[in-house]
Structure 1
């Protein structure tokens, strides 16, 4: 805090004694004492930096010198001598106690305060391994380290890129292999299915061929004129219930399979009709015959003649009306039934 007291008045300047000054006491004015008007208000006193920080300054300087020496070649220069005045040298700490510096200074000092480095500062940054290899220049050593590190990084980057490429290639190869395997499996499955279907068709053809040996068409020299289910007003049911084989009158009518004659005689609109019952209970109706060659209860074999084509009953011309009924009496399509026995119509 600044003082608020009034400044003391300065004494009158000195002058020689004159008349009328007798009896006075004169004092010598000293301007260094409390005769100077103090400065009012806050003020900052500059601190004088002493020698306490000299060691830090010296350490920074030495480190800077080491760095500079590492970037330049100074092997041809003699060791550097550092001289300091006695007034400063006496207040400096022991150079050997400075971190990172004492190892590079010799333990001898001359009487003038001169400290001589035991080796050039250009070798300060060289490691023991580099020294064993014959490296004596810190700048070259640093350059070699940088180049080695760059090469290592480049090699690492190339290795990583190569590994990435190899991984991508392996994944692509695996995907292609999986796709090829999938295609191969699909083709194999399709081929197997086709082979199975072909085998089934072949087996069915063989079965029908063998079965056809025991079945025969009901007549020969025929023309199909009406099919099963065909609609028309000429049929009382409104649709055709059998299969018509148009042929000349007197054309032989044959047993389609071995069986027993269940009935043979006149049957109204069917004219002369023969009903042949097969071993499985299926009935074959032969209608509109001109004559019949079998009687009820008679056993017949495949291909035997059981009658003749005619035009009896409700007809418009000579033909064989053939119907097929299952064991339960239901009528089915005669053409499909004959084809299921291996016969071609």
Structure 2
């Protein structure tokens, strides 16, 4: 009958120390390389045989390397209370594994662990402090500059970025201030230019007006030299267009110069005597025609000194002030008619010739 007795456990790969066993004890001493394969396990007879552990041994070995690296890199624990274990891997697996010393932070860890040797009582090696994993965030430039802490490098980059942003903001503010100052200066310069232009235009206009006034004064002076006031020692008693019942048309048609009887009546400009004689309500009237066709009527004269067709010059005496016709007292009634026969204001016409009435 087959035996169901369990297979014996493999002896411990560790050498007990400090009272937990001594070399030479059964199941305690183990010399040489440990390999949990068919060489270290005795087969079990019967139907309940244990399968060979070749694959398990190799996977356990790889797992052991990973655990050793993780524990050493994280700084959580080190195998200080156990003797070092010598591991071996098949060449086919070793050739495909990366070099552990080339991994970031792991090379220094393995070096530190190896330097401890097999002395279980040696002082703990500060593995995590010797090779931290924080170098993963460092750039090549920072590494070349000697940076070893990614956190500090990140802080430095943040501060540098903040300084750059502040510098950019200061530059923008300065540029804005300079632009505002330039705009203000341009506005002030434009205002000064506009003021200067306006002043120059005003001065030019004033000069032109002064020149025009001077020219007009000269023109009037020349006209005044060729025109004359119709009488002297006078007072204006009635003006053109004045309304009243004394005139048949309901308004005054001329300009009245009240003066003593016999005061000389003068030709206002050179011309030809068109008519001279009695004219009803106008009394004795003389009509002087100028070169442009304008007619000057001298009415209510006491006497006339010219005849029809006679040429007279400015200032020549053509009659005397009187009170003939429809009057209330001695005066000269003067009328001005355009070439088409329209009656106009004698005051405006005389002042337009440079005369002061």
Normalising by the residue count of structure 2, what TM-score does the alignment of the two structures yield?
0.64
Within the alignment, does 1:121 sit opposite 2:132 as a pair? yes
Pair 59,243 (structure 1): closer, same or farther in 2 beyond 3 Å: farther
Aligned-partner Cα distance in 1 for 2:343–2:98:
128
Residue 60 of structure 1: how far off its partner (Å): 11
Aligned-partner Cα distance in 2 for 1:123–1:219:
124
Aligned-partner Cα distance in 2 for 1:150–1:289:
110
Structure 2 counterpart of 1:46? none
Within the alignment, does 1:287 sit opposite 2:288 as a pair? no
Normalising by the residue count of structure 1, what TM-score does the alignment of the two structures yield?
0.66
Pair 271,120 (structure 1): closer, same or farther in 2 beyond 3 Å: same
Pair 118,234 (structure 1): closer, same or farther in 2 beyond 3 Å: closer
Contact kept? 2:104, 2:133, Cα under 8 Å = no
Within the alignment, does 1:252 sit opposite 2:264 as a pair? yes
Pair 117,318 (structure 1): closer, same or farther in 2 beyond 3 Å: same
Structure 2 counterpart of 1:157? 169
Aligned-partner Cα distance in 2 for 1:207–1:87:
134
Over the aligned positions, Cα root-mean-square deviation in angstroms equals 4.2
Within the alignment, does 1:320 sit opposite 2:320 as a pair? no
SS in 1 for 2:228: coil
Aligned-partner Cα distance in 2 for 1:143–1:270:
118
Structure 1 counterpart of 2:220? 208
Structure 2 counterpart of 1:223? 235
SS in 1 for 2:227: coil
Aligned-partner Cα distance in 2 for 1:61–1:285:
139
Within the alignment, does 1:336 sit opposite 2:337 as a pair? no
Structure 1 counterpart of 2:4? none
Deviations 1:298-324 (A, max 9, x none): 111101111110011111000000000
- Larger displacement relative to structure 2 (213-222 or 125-134): 125-134
Contact kept? 2:284, 2:325, Cα under 8 Å = yes
Aligned residues: 276
Deviations 1:203-226 (A, max 9, x none): 222211121111000001100000
Q: Which of 294, 307, 311 does residue 319 from structure 2 map onto?
A: 307
Pair 83,168 (structure 1): closer, same or farther in 2 beyond 3 Å: farther
